[in-house]
Amino acid sequence: MICEPKINSHRPIHLPSTKKSADRLLQFPHHTLIKSKKRKTKKSDQKMGIVEEAHNVKVVGSGEKTIVLGHGFGTDQSVWKQLVPYLVDEYRVVLYDNMGAGPTNPDYFDFDRYSSLEGYAYDLISILEELQINRCMFLGHSLSAMTGVVASIFRPDLFSKLILVSASPRFINTDDYYGGFESEDIEQLCQAMESNYKAWVSGFAPLAVGGDMSSVAVQEFSRTLFNMRPDIALSVFRTVFTFDLRHYLSRVTVPCHIIQSSMDVAMPVTVSEYLHRNLGGKSIVEIISTEGHLPHLSAPEATIPVLLRHISHDITADASSS
């Protein structure tokens, strides 16, 4: 199911949109906030920067356009391994690990900083600045999808469009919003993580992916979940499943492509429709016939063609030609 693009009128945003004003928000004493000055030497001649090293940044491909891939909770950049080969001939592809993911140094994880998505958004902006990327497409899954939303408000100049896979501004139900969970459900899941993380992973991974433990996708998701330090996994999980970013949506001006599985235990399809109605800029939504919250992992044969189509599709051109 594809909903046609729409344009919402919106008030001018008052969040920082320049590099200097965004820098003023970067107040945390953290390695990811150390900024690189402009260099005159070629990137190939430079040593890896502090931000790149901390987030295990990898750049592949040789295209003129840049696409940045951000992973969701419980995974790392390896979750994109089946998509990347389709991109490298045409795009410069940037991959990175969110702080707290298994391959990152757990000593770098700041529990206060990452108690909100703003911390992840500042990291993304820092990565783009260190790589001297002035404009990119951003493809994010779940946690990173909403990270891209927040980052695009702080620095809309950095993003030509956002491709949001399994994105939700809020997972907990309210009187006038259906996110998929009651607050008691989330608290019970957090308690289960705290009491026996291994058992929790064995139950959560099949539910999130949509399969059983014999599934390669479930085994892969379990592997990356087990790579996370349990206390960090609990903190990230609580942040993701308790945030409320609905108030941000009207401030988004960057075009958004919203993609979701038709059967996702973590969120109903009405959430994607909610995003489509409430985003401040142009958006398009497509519900694909896949199961699970991680369709790029569980059903790559169905999901990758959809992602490639949205990567190449310009919804702003659609509006100008209509």
> Which residues are part of the catalytic machinery?
142, 264, 293
Rounded to an integer, what distance in angstroms lies between the CA atom of residue 234 and that of residue 40? 43
Instruction: List the end-to-end C-alpha distance of the chain, in Å, as a whole number.
Output: 21
Q: Are strands 136-141 and 159-165 parallel, antiparallel or unpaired?
A: parallel
HSE-CB for 253 with a 13 A CA cutoff: 14
CB atoms within 10 A of CB 87: 22
Amino acid at 283: S
Closest by alpha carbon to 94, among 143, 45, 142, 144?
A: 144
Per-residue 3-state assignment (H helix, E strand, C coil) for 7-40: CCCCCCCCCCCCHHHHHHHCCCCCHHHCCCCCCC
For the stretch 42-47, contacts whose Cβ atoms lie closer than 8 Å and that sit 24 or more positions apart, written own/partner, are 43/131, 43/132
Tokens representing 21?
């004003």
Provide the edge-to-edge strand list for the sheet that holds 65-70. Answer: 2-6, 283-291, 256-263, 159-165, 136-141, 65-70, 91-95, 58-60
